[in-house]
A and B are shown apart, each in its own frame.
Chain A
Amino acid sequence: MQNEYRQAIEQYRQKVVTLARYSLRSAADAEDIAQEVFVKLWHHWPSVDADRRLAWLMRVTHNAVIDFTRRRKTKLGVFDEAAEVEEQAGDDDQHGAVETAAIRGDIAAAIRELDDPFRSILVMRDVQGLAYADIEVSLEMNASQVKVYLHRARRKLRQNAQLRQRFDDLD
C-alpha cells in the first residue's frame, strides 16, 4: 500500500503543488498545503478510488487553499516571487509564445488576483490541462458550469489592465 501511495505522490505531486502555487503568494505556503493534502490522502487512502484520485486531490487542494487564505487572511495580491516561476520557465521558453519571463510573472500575479472558483478552474484547465471531467468531479460542478466559469475567468484575466499593457507593449 505504501508503495502505491508513494507512486501516487510522485504522479500527482506536480499537479497539487502547481494548483497551490498559482493560488498563493508564497512557495513555502504552497508546499505546506501540498504536504497537508498528501497526508490527508494517506488518511483517506482506503476510501479514495484510484481512478478518482486526481480529482480528489484537486478538490482537497482547492479547499485547503481556501481554508488557508481564510485562516491567514492572506491577500491574494501581487506576485512578488515570480522569479521562481521564471526560473522553472527558463528552459522551455522556446516552446511557448511568451517572450519574457517577466510576462509569466505578470500572468501569475493576475491569476492570483482572480477569485475562486475562477482561479482554480483556470489553473486546472489552462495551466495544467486537466480534463473537464476531472474538474467537474473536483469542484462538484457540471460541464456547463465549468465552461461558464472558465470563460468568465479568461475574460477577467483579459480585463487586467497591467497585463493588457504588457501585451500592448510587445506589439
Chain B
Amino acid sequence: MTTGHEQSSCYAAQLQIDSFLDGELSNGHEQGFLAHVGGCVECARELRYAQQLHEAVMDLPSVDCGAAFDARVDALIAGREPRSAQGESFIAQGRQRNTSLLESFFDVLRGRGAWSATAMGLCAVVVAVVVTLLATNDGRATRQEAPQIAEAAVERATPATTFDAADVRVALKELNTAIDYLNRVSRQTEEMIGERFVVLPLQQSINGSLRRASFERDADAQGPI
C-alpha cells in the first residue's frame, strides 16, 4: 500500500517526465527524478511509456502532396496580384491618424491644471470611442471604392479572419497608449487629492498638536499661578 508521501512523489515525478525528456531538468531536479524513478516501478513504467510514445510521435512522417498541388495553387492565383501595401495598411493608417489625434489632445491636457486634466481625461475616453467608431465607418466607405480592398472586407467577414494578428496588435498598442495617458492623469489627480485632503490636514493637525504641546510645556514651566 502506498503512502500519501509516495503518491505525491509519484505525482511530482510524473509531472517532470516531459521536462526530463526535453533535457530541461536542472541537475538537482534530474538526480531527484532519476532517484525516484529508480525506486518506483509505476513511475519507471510511465517513463518508459512516455519515452516510447515521444519517440514514436517524433518519427511520425510529414505529409506532402506533390507538384499537382503547386499547379492548383498557381491556377488559383493566376491573374491576381498581391494586395498593395497601401491597401493592406489602410486601416492601420486610419488608426494611426486616430492615435495622433489622441496624442495631440493629451498634449493639450498636459499643459492644464490637475482638475481640468481629470475632467478632460474622462472626456478623452468618450472622444476616443467616438473617433474610433467614426474611423471604422470611414474605413468601410473607402473599402467599398476599391475592389481589392472590398475583397479583403469579404474575407474579414469570415469568422477567424475578421481581425488578423496585425489588427489586434495595433488595437492593443492604441489601448495601451490610452491606458498610459489615463494612468498619468490618474496619478496627477491622486497626488493633487492627496496633497489637498490628506497631506495638508495632516500637516495642520501636526502643527496644531505641536503648538498645543509647546503651550502646555510653557505653562508647566511657569508652575501654578
Show 13 A/B contacts (Cβ-Cβ < 8 Å), sorted by A. A14-B63, A15-B62, A21-B63, A27-B63, A39-B77, A85-B60, A85-B63, A88-B63, A126-B57, A151-B19, A157-B57, A158-B46, A167-B52
> In the complex, are the beta carbons of B73 and A122 less than 8 A apart?
no
Q: Which residues of A contact B52 (CB under 8 A)?
A: 97, 167, 170
- Given the complex of chains A and B, what is the CA–CA distance between A10 and B74 in angstroms? 12
Interface string of B1-45 (1 = CB under 8 A from A): 000000000000000001100000000000000000000000000
Q: Is the pair B83, A31 in contact by a Cβ cutoff of 8 Å?
A: no
Does A150 make an interface contact (CB < 8 A)?
Answer: yes
Query: Are A14 and B62 in contact, CB atoms less than 8 angstroms apart?
Result: yes
State how many angstroms separate the Cβ of B137 from the closest Cβ of chain A: 24
A128 CA to B60 CA, complexed, in Å: 9
Interface code A98-122, partner B: CB below 8 Å = 1, 0 otherwise?
A: 1000011001100100000000001
Interface size class of B (residues with CB under 8 A): 35 or more
Return the CB mask of A42-77 against B: 1 if under 8 Å, else 0: 111111000000000001000110110010000000
Q: In the complex the two chains form, what is the Cα distance from A164 to B158 in whole Å? A: 39
Known: A21-B63, A44-B88, A127-B60. A35 touches B160 (CB 8 A): no
Judged by a CB distance under 8 angstroms, whether B224 is at the interface is no
- Give CA–CA (A154, B161) in the complex, Å: 29
Q: Measuring CB to CB, which residues of chain A are less than 8 angstroms from any residue of chain B?
A: 1, 6, 9-10, 13-15, 17-18, 21-22, 27, 30-31, 34-35, 38-39, 42-47, 59, 63-64, 66-67, 70, 84-85, 88-89, 92, 95-98, 103-104, 107-108, 111, 122, 126-129, 140, 150-151, 154-155, 157-158, 163-164, 167, 170
Contact A42 B80 (CB under 8 A): yes
Tell me if B49 counts as interface (CB < 8 A to partner A): yes
Known: A31-B69, A34-B69, A151-B19. A63 touches B160 (CB 8 A): yes
**Which residue among A70, A127, A140 has the maximum number of chain B CB atoms within 10 Å of its CB?**
A127
Minimal Cβ-Cβ distance residue in A for B24: A147
Provide the bound-state CA to CA distance between A27 and B63, in Å: 10
Tell yes or no: B217 within 8 A of A by CB: no
B159 at the interface (CB under 8 A from A): yes
A46–B82 touching, CB < 8 Å: yes
CB within 8 A of B55: which of A27, A45, A96? Answer: A96
Residues of A contacting B223 in the complex (Cβ-Cβ under 8 angstroms): none
Indicate which residue in B64, B80, B82, B165 contacts A59 across the interface (CB closer than 8 Å): B165
B166 to chain A, nearest CB (A): 8
- Interface members, chain B 56-105 (any A CB < 8 Å): 56-65, 69-70, 72-74, 76-77, 80, 82-85, 88-89
A59 and B160 alpha carbons, distance in the complex (Å): 11
Contact of A66 among B50, B80, B84, B160 (CB under 8 A): B160
* Chain A residues positioned under 8 Å from B64 (CB to CB): 13-14, 17-18, 88
